[in-house]
Amino acid sequence: MLKRAWKPFLVTTTVIGVPAYYYYRYSAGKPTSETFDLPIRSRDSSGKVVMTSRTFPLLSKEQADARLSEHATFKATPRPDGLIWKHATAYVASNSPIEDAYASALIPRNPSDRAYPGDLLFYAILDGHGGYDTSRLLSQVLIPAVTLELHQLRNGSSATTSSSGGMQYLRSLLYPTPNSSLGPLDADPERVAHAIQTAFINLDQELTSAPLRILAEHADKLAIQKGAIPDLSQHPMALASMLPAMSGSCAIMALFDTAHQNLYVACTGDCRAVAGVYEETEDGKGSWRVEVLSEDQTGENPNEIKRVQSEHPRDERDSVIRRGRVLGGLQPTRAFGDARYKWSREVQEILSKAFLHGNDHSMRAAPAALRTPPYVTSRPEVTHRKFSFLPSSDSPTKPKSALRFVVLATDGLWDELTSEEVVALVGGHLMGLKGTVPKTTLPSVVRTTIGTPTLDGKNIKREEAKGAWAFVDENVGTHLIRNALGGANEEKLRELLSIPAPYSRNHRDDITVTVVWWEDGREKDVGASTSGDQKVRSKL
């Protein structure tokens, strides 16, 4: 029964939407003339905050669908062991430009080494804030940084003895040739977790120390102490070094080590990863166990509050976290960049004068309570799970339960959906559900149980389950975003997607989601049967 549930999804396709600009300008059919009113917070002539109403064009259903699928991709990668690794990614912006980013990579082990067959598969989601500079940079360098640290774990420090050698090796990892692949890594989960943490920490130190290194090359210590700060605003690396340090980004990364059947999830900030574990049941219907693989790291998390307080003097106990935020300002307690919470007040003033004053850029004033930085760390919490794949077609037995998929997403998704809802929605999608399902009905159609509970990093008020979920998208990432923004409630969905930046940020966040799953490629494809007239049927 489990195999039948997965067979309809063995067709390899790639879904890439039409760019929104061209769609909205040249889309077939007449543009919608509908509008809607939205309350807007503004200031009157005296500076007093007032609420006014503005009218905005309302996207048509077709335009809303196009916006949802515009940045949706799907990739299926067959591997020599017979498995097909699949991942779907989708994102919808609220900020302009979007502050989220994502990355993925597959690194094969040495195929000639029979003792260590398999791959390393990386998937990362980056949630930027205060700009996109940090998240975009991380999308290019985070996975390579972790890969190099893992290589060093296995082979010592030779991988980074020279910059040219390190870069050459890095290119070979991301763009492997038949004679270039990664050798076996140590299978000790503790050592691997430590290597991942080291990579995150070292990378952030590079980001936040880059402007200081450039300054040191152009001014000696004595000159700076006397206030002789050089104008480096036109230096080619002025903004390239300052902006990624000033803005910030949360990050979550999943690493699948197929040789040792290990799954690692590293979380810095308030992105989240959840897994769907399929469990057989005596009645033959099966259920999905919800395993939360990360813990939201914010000022609302009691564990994070205690950690931050323990790292600073006792007289700062009441100021390090205020109103659920670091120094009353930043919600995530761990992040890359965010140098306002890591540099001393003096360093911030010097670097701002050296790099920004001549560039029409400015750095926000240091938090008033800043005394003993750093207050924010990039050090991730790394969780480890053993996992097994689908049994071979001739296997005499089946596992009673097995991990089947992992969802990584920015907090924009988790603001709207619970971990349990996400697992049920993905499980139902992979089961072949079609049409709309009342929210009160889905638990009986796609049964879920709680494995590892969620620790929400925000005080989110969840509405009572009303309305219906929509199972209408081929891309499972788009499917999740649609249901986060309205589901079968097309009027709500159209309005939320119609709100332009910056007003949209008061109603929804950037949302980026990646879903990863795998299937036995030796099975034959079968067509998916679907029901009509608002009805659905489980394939399990």
- At 158, the pLDDT band (50, 70, 90 cuts) reads very low
Q: Tell me, what's the pLDDT at 225?
A: 67
Average pLDDT over residues 370-388: 95
Q: Do strands 448-452 and 287-292 pair parallel, antiparallel, or not at all (unpaired)? A: parallel
Q: Tell me, what's the pLDDT at 31?
A: 54
Average pLDDT over residues 243-263: 95
Please give the Cα distance from 269 to 202 (Å, whole number).
17
For the cut 80, the answer to whether the pLDDT of residue 3 exceeds it is no
Please give the Cα distance from 101 to 511 (Å, whole number).
10
> At residue 225, what is the residue type?
Q
Q: Tell me, what's the pLDDT at 260?
A: 86
Q: Residue 278: beta bridge partners? A: 288, 402
Q: Return the DSSP state at 109.
A: B
| Phi, psi of 207, rounded to the nearest 5 degrees | -65, -45
Contact 519, 10 (CB under 8 A): yes
For the cut 80, the answer to whether the pLDDT of residue 163 exceeds it is no
For the cut 60, the answer to whether the pLDDT of residue 172 exceeds it is no
Q: Tell me, what's the pLDDT at 284?
A: 79
| C-alpha separations of 306 from 300, 317, 318, 323, 381 in Å | 11, 9, 11, 15, 15
Q: Tell me, what's the pLDDT at 181?
A: 44
For the cut 50, the answer to whether the pLDDT of residue 127 exceeds it is yes
For the cut 80, the answer to whether the pLDDT of residue 224 exceeds it is no
Q: Residue 51: beta bridge partners? A: 41
Please give the Cα distance from 478 to 500 (Å, whole number).
20
> Best-predicted range by mean pLDDT among 30-34, 235-239, 526-530?
235-239
For the cut 50, the answer to whether the pLDDT of residue 431 exceeds it is yes
For the cut 70, the answer to whether the pLDDT of residue 177 exceeds it is no
Percent of the chain at pLDDT above 90? 65
For the cut 80, the answer to whether the pLDDT of residue 416 exceeds it is yes
Q: What is the pLDDT of residues 31-73, one digit of tens each?
A: 558 999 999 888 877 778 888 899 999 999 999 999 999 999 9
Please give the Cα distance from 49 to 61 (Å, whole number).
34
Contact 520, 83 (CB under 8 A): yes
Average pLDDT over residues 249-272: 95
Q: What is the pLDDT of residues 498-515, one digit of tens each?
A: 999 999 999 999 999 999
Q: Tell me, what's the pLDDT at 236?
A: 94
- At 6, the pLDDT band (50, 70, 90 cuts) reads very low
For the cut 90, the answer to whether the pLDDT of residue 250 exceeds it is yes
CB-based burial, 130-152: b 16+ in 10 Å, e otherwise: bbbbbbbbbbebbbbbbbbbbbb
What's the CATH code, domain 2-17+71-302+377-520?
A: 3.60.40.10
Q: Tell me, what's the pLDDT at 180?
A: 39
Its pTM stands at 0.85
Q: Do strands 448-452 and 511-520 pair parallel, antiparallel, or not at all (unpaired)? A: unpaired
| Phi, psi of 269, rounded to the nearest 5 degrees | 110, -150
* Helical H segments across 157-235, by residue range: 163-174, 189-218, 221-225
Q: Tell me, what's the pLDDT at 245?
A: 97
> At residue 179, what is the residue type?
N
For the cut 90, the answer to whether the pLDDT of residue 351 exceeds it is yes
Q: Tell me, what's the pLDDT at 500?
A: 95
Residue 261, helix vs strand vs coil: coil
Mean pLDDT, rounded, of the chain: 84
Please give the Cα distance from 294 to 204 (Å, whole number).
20
Q: Tell me, what's the pLDDT at 393?
A: 45
Contact 205, 211 (CB under 8 A): no
Average pLDDT over residues 171-190: 55
Q: How many CB atoms lie within 10 A of CB 7?
A: 18
Average pLDDT over residues 296-316: 97
Contact 264, 376 (CB under 8 A): no
For the cut 80, the answer to whether the pLDDT of residue 1 exceeds it is no
Please give the Cα distance from 362 to 349 (Å, whole number).
10
Contact 6, 426 (CB under 8 A): no
For the cut 90, the answer to whether the pLDDT of residue 12 exceeds it is no
For the cut 60, the answer to whether the pLDDT of residue 533 exceeds it is no
Contact 41, 49 (CB under 8 A): yes
Average pLDDT over residues 355-382: 94
Percent of the chain at pLDDT above 70? 80
> At residue 148, what is the residue type?
L
Q: Tell me, what's the pLDDT at 18?
A: 33
